[in-house]
Amino acid sequence: GAGVSQSPSNKVTEKGKDVELRCDPISGHTALYWYRQSLGQGLEFLIYFQGNSAPDKSGLPSDRFSAERTGGSVSTLTIQRTQQEDSAVYLCASTPTNRAAEAFFGQGTRLTVV
């Protein structure tokens, strides 16, 4: 079956513009994560959705970042007034259950803010 799909794969935007990144998780997966990976850095946790529970937003770096997950499926990560330091690869992952389950990653969106 299809894996986690992210779009766009690459995005170049001007500083100050808003961007939306999309993630289509594997069908039936209840948990969805967003991570940010900067050059040579680890996987920085951003936000975690689990079923109908309130999302864990503890990793969002500023109020310019927000995310939503509609109908327990597709998720959108929005970055407002982008800054150059937002340049990174944004990875989405989904898991079939909320605990101790393999995370399936998408190929990521490479965001470049110029």
Partner 1 sequence: QQPVQSPQAVILREGEDAVINCSSSKALYSVHWYRQKHGEAPVFLMILLKGGEQKGHEKISASFNEKKQQSSLYLTASQLSYSGTYFCGTEGGANSGYALNFGKGTSLLVTP
Binding site for partner 1 (CB under 8 A): 33, 35, 41-45, 48, 50, 56, 58-59, 91, 93, 95, 98-108
Q: Shortest Cβ distance from residue 7 to partner 1 (Å)?
A: 14
Q: Shortest Cβ distance from residue 102 to partner 1 (Å)?
A: 4
Q: Shortest Cβ distance from residue 113 to partner 1 (Å)?
A: 20
Whether omega for the bond prior to residue 55 falls within 30 degrees of 0, making it cis, is no
10 Å CB burial of residue 45 (0-12, 13-18, 19+) is: middle
